[in-house]
A = this chain, B = another copy of it.
Amino acid sequence: MTIRVQAQPFDYGAESNAFARSSDGAGAIVTFCGVVRDNDGTLRGMEIEHYPGMTERALSTIEAEARSRWSLSDALIIHRHGALNPGEMIMMVATASRHRADAFAAAEFLMDYLKSRAPFWKKERTATGEGWVEAREADEDALKRW
């Protein structure tokens, strides 16, 4: 089980391969990767603020909860903070299980909780100014199903 909160970029593919290799015998690997998206071509960049200390605690709690609910042989969370450019990878999660349904459910659970319960805040910088990304009601609602 690995949690990394870092300013520097990570290599999604290399992390996915390393995770799959170390989860020998798992059978089913699921990964999620979030990319800085530029919906209308005006995004210049993004700044991610976080709460050092609480971030790691929150991610550990979320991951422990996922492990208690599903049969996982391994899990990985990497989340960046600081300045990011459009197209850069913000974060990834990976889950490994003998059963694909567990790997999928756990990865989606980790994402849902990470979105609304881990202390990260995104600020977008566009051609016309900058502003904090507002939390989506759909993200809060997504927690209710678990």
A residues adjacent to B (C-beta < 8 A): 11-18, 20-21, 23-35, 37-39, 87, 89, 98, 100-101, 103-104, 107-108, 111, 142
Q: CA A38 – CA B23 in complex, angstroms?
A: 12
Contact of A31 with B34 at beta-carbon distance under 8 Å, contacts A12-B20, A13-B16, A100-B111 already known = no
Chain A interface, DSSP helix/strand/loop, else mixed: mixed
Q: CA A81 – CA B38 in complex, angstroms?
A: 38
B-chain residues with CB within 8 Å of residue A23 when the two chains form the complex: 35
Contact across chains for A24 and B87 when beta carbons are under 8 A apart: yes
B-chain residues with CB within 8 Å of residue A35 when the two chains form the complex: 20, 23-24, 26-29
Q: CA A14 – CA B12 in complex, angstroms?
A: 9
